[in-house]
Structure 1
Amino acid sequence: MAGRCPLTARSTVPWRDATAMLLMQGYRFVPRRWRRSGSDVFELRLLGERVICVHGPDAARLFYDPQRFERAGAAPRRLQKTLLGAGGVHGLDDAAHRARKRMFMDLMTQRRIDELVALTRREWLDALPSWSRRDRVVLFDEARVVLCRAICAWAGVPLPERDVRRRADDLTAMVDAFGAAGPRHWRGKAARRRCEAWIEAVVDDVRSGRLDVSEEQALDRIARFRDVGGQPLDRRVAAVEVLNVLRPTMAVAYFVVFMAIALHEQPDRARRLRAGDDEDVERFVQEVRRYFPFTPFLGARVRSGFDWQGHRFDEGTLVLLDVYGAHHDGRVFGSPGVFDPDRGPAAGDSGFELIPQGGGGFRDGHRCAGEWITIALMKTVCRLLTGAMTYEVPAQDLAPDLRRIPPKPRSGFAISHVRASASTLD
């Protein structure tokens, strides 16, 4: 591997705000600044604020040091009003974060993950006859419906059939607003308000005894959770945390499209996966998570000032960890612009190289509690796409727009002549 980029001493913070450039360049913005700076630590100004960007496995390890960084106050209000909500686990630190994170991790037993996988597979197979009767199916849209039904059933959230598509639309709109300004952001804000009102009412029903759900299900666990002070969560915060189970699962629809693109562009790989073992599928899924864009960067604030690699990190400074650029760094992933599931783990893999859903420890750090679910669902859908159905891919532009956060092809990956495979019908 090539040597590391030389690190330069701290320079004067650029006076020109780069927010407009970020919105224009999307995923390319931070990696371009990294290459231009010649350093794994560089500064810029976003929304009028001095921001330090860090890049690479060493930076990721630093970023997840709870003694150096905190998440409280790191998420901009526009993200709280769309993607994250206010008061949830993403903005907590120390004992409060550990207790809330433990609540989520307790849901992630292998048995419960297997149950979600089974629900998703059943919903997908149940949808196949309907898809086969249509001339054209948009995979992104239909995957959202499948995932919405499955995750609500798994979490214990009632979902009448008449509400399925509008709930799927709203949950997706919150994800789609992540890097947006204008109409997409406004739609995400409105969707967040509707979803929180919906789930607040459901939480009230659980707490009053009007709705009976299993104590193993996320809805019951969150509705009855008590924080480190022994108090139940505010009903709005409880709704935010329930949505922190539903919404990220809906985001798997983006990865479904990315997998479909990779399978279409590498038909030999699709045939291999059809007959492959779990290890082959796992490698494919992990390469999809590395190669395709989803999380551009992650943010935290400096807890107390320190110096690192010749740069000063002042208390309260917003720091962004480059995720997309790190996954396309040739020092860590050889030939990063090539989609190659056979590449195996990154050289020196320590858990801080592949970070699409964060780094650090699952239970004690800020790594996403839903990462196991994401991987399990992606593996399941990969097997469904390669073994449970056949379809054709009409001509369309399948290139994700890297200016759009999060990205997907404009077509949403249209397919036609969908048929259940013979083995599925047996």
Structure 2
Amino acid sequence: MQEIRPFPKEEGLENGLSVLREGYLYVPNRLKIYQSDAVKTRLLGQEAILLGGEEAAELFYDEDKFKREGAAPEPAVATLLGKGGVQQIDDEAHRHRKKLFMDLMSKERIEIWAKLVEKHLYMATKEWITKDSINFYEESQKVLTKAACEWCGVPLKNKEVEKRTKQLISMIESPVAVSKRHIEGRIGRKQGEKWIADLIDQVRNGELHPVEETALYQISWHQELNGEKMDLKTAAVELLNVIRPSVAIALYFAFTALTLQQFPEEKSNLNGDNPYYLHMFIQEIRRYYPFFPFNGAITRKDFVWNGYQFEKDTLAIFDFYGTNHDPRIWEDPDQFKPERFSDWHQSPTDQIQFKLVAQGGGSYASGHRCPGEWNTVRAMEIVTDFLVNKIDYTLPEQDSGFSLVNMPTTPKSGMIFENIQLKG
């Protein structure tokens, strides 16, 4: 029988303020202080277990031991996630709903997505070259809103782009924000769900006819396990669960521009003889820079792991950022080294399920790893090639540093470009 040992425990009746003060480093700091992959604390008025590392990732994504229903805090549901989406359901209902998302990610559809991202980058550049400067992060948001809506079959007029982009970004940037920024996220969520629900209603009423392969069509007519269509609100949440993460890639676009500024020698590597280097470069950006910091789940039952007794209905928080910088997984984790991915010849592969966890871990089909990871990688490949080979630009003096307290974070300047020109 396995010997039971007590969890290391952070003192305090409520440590939520420490999360706000430390941001991405809150969980890795606790795991380092207590020299453990599992530490007890109190968050949001309840006991919680902080987890990090490859072995803990395998535990956290074990569907037999953890569930997602009820794990997301209300502020995240009211802004980022929406109520009743695929991230918050379990078991057969989750697998059935997840198949809907997986079916959207065929190779053909992913390549259509890539072409749309490239198209809207070129279209935006025609405007950029007429300006003295642009904020690349903000411009990327609009590019991706246009590409995501077109890919999903969602009609979007030019005069709507700013409005819809603002709504989508407010959802992304507000889950752990305070005051005005968080309120904007709640408003953006309500407005966004109404926008999408109206479109789905039009599809069901025969007023709108999207292409069958698109997310708008598939989600509008998706049947749940009981054979009935999703209610309008849930369907809107799920379509936003395609569009919103697609726009969140703007965070990575800004970090891609920052990488090319910080490591200019990479440009020659990207134009070198190794056709796989672009993929290595993208994966290293996703590992090296922060995206979303952590995720939550709730224990389904009592069990023992590594000598620690987990009790049923306990909140667990798994650390993405710290795991992507864990020296037990990554040699020299604080150095930018794309070559570390030289033997990872596909994305995703089995070997990255619990190592590279920028967008979750485990299985796509049966678990809670984000299926949009494929679209993320392709969009980043497109924008990297675009910045290196398709346009010229200069970077004025600016504060391109980023905060590990803000969640999510991005370069403070947004990456300002000047003197933009198309090559050739």
**TM-score w.r.t. structure 1 length?**
0.95
**Equivalent residue, structure 1, for 2:271:** 274
2:13 corresponds in structure 1 to 16
- Cα distance in 2 for residues equivalent to 1:286 and 1:292: 10
| 1:142 counterpart = 2:128 | no
| Partner in structure 2 of residue 340 of structure 1 | 337
Q: Which amino acid aligns with 1:163?
A: E
Matched, 1:236 2:238: no
Corresponding pairs, count: 416
Aligned residue identity for 1:249: S
Aligned pair in 2 of structure 1 residues 287, 306: CA closer, same or farther (>3 Å)? Answer: same
> Match of 1:179, as an amino acid?
V
388, 396, 414: which one aligns with 1:386: 388
What SS class does the counterpart of residue 265 from structure 2 fall into?
helix
- Report the equivalent of 1:411: 413
Contact 1:8 1:39 survives alignment (8 Å): no
- Among residues 196, 199, 215, which one is paired with 1:199 in the alignment? 196
Does the 8 Å contact 2:133/2:419 carry over to 1? yes
Q: CA deviation at 1:342?
A: 1.2
| Partner residue, 2:360 | 358
Q: Distance in 1 between matches of 2:277 and 2:7?
A: 45
- For 1:104, the equivalent position in structure 2 comes to 101
Q: Is the 8 A contact 1:271 1:386 kept in 2?
A: no
Distance 1:345 1:54, change over 3 A: farther
Residue type matched to 1:110 in 2?
K
CA distance in 2, matches of 1:10, 1:315: 15
Report what 1:3 is aligned to.
Answer: none
Q: Could you say what secondary structure the match of 1:394 adopts? A: coil
For 1:211 and 1:277, how far apart are their aligned partners in 2? 46
Aligned position for 2:315? 318
CA–CA distance in structure 2, aligned partners of residues 327 and 112 of structure 1: 29
**Could you tell me which amino acid in structure 1 is paired with residue 177 of structure 2?**
A
Match in the other structure for 1:373: 375
What is the CA-CA distance between 1:271 and the residue it aligns to? 2.6
1:180 to partner: Cα distance: 1.3
1:182 and 2:179 matched: yes
Residue 285 of structure 2: aligned partner: 288
* 2:132 aligned with 1:130: no
Segment drifting more, 262-271 vs 342-351 = 342-351
The match for 2:347 is none
Q: CA deviation at 1:20?
A: 0.7
> Contact 1:332/1:346 (CA < 8 Å) preserved in 2?
no
- Offset of 1:277 from its aligned partner? 4.7
1:325 alignment partner, SS class: helix
Of 36, 57, 61, 2:58 maps to: 61
| Preserved contact between residue 167 and residue 188 of structure 2 (Cα < 8 Å) | yes
Equivalent position amino acid for 1:382 in 2: T
Separation in 1, partners of 2:176, 2:21: 11
- Structure 1 segment 213-252 matched on structure 2, within 5 A: 213-252=210-249
Give the Å deviation of 1:179.
Answer: 2.4
| Cα distance in 1, alignment partners of residues 21 and 5 from structure 2 | 27
Letter in 1 for 2:112: E
Residue of structure 1 in register with 2:162 after alignment: 165
Query: What is the alpha-carbon distance in structure 1 between the residues aligned to residue 35 and residue 295 of structure 2?
Result: 21
Aligned partner letter, 2:246:
T
- Supply the distance in 1 between the matched residues of 2:394 and 2:247 (Cα, whole angstroms): 25
Give per-residue Cα distances to partners, 1:234-258, cap 9 Å, x unaligned: 1000000000010000000000011
CA distance in 1, matches of 2:5, 2:330: 24
Cα deviation 1:253-288 (Å, max 9, x = unaligned): 000011111111111102321345541110000000
**Residue type at the aligned position of 1:248:** P
Q: Secondary structure at the match of 1:44?
A: strand
Alignment check: 8 A CA contact 1:346 1:353 kept: no
* Alignment partner of 1:210 is 2:195: no
Pick from 25, 36, 39 the counterpart of residue 39 of structure 1. 36
| Alpha-carbon distance in 1 for matches of 2:194, 2:248 | 21
Going from structure 1 to structure 2, the CA distance change for 1:337 and 1:11 (only over 3 Å counts) comes to closer
**Match of 2:257?**
260
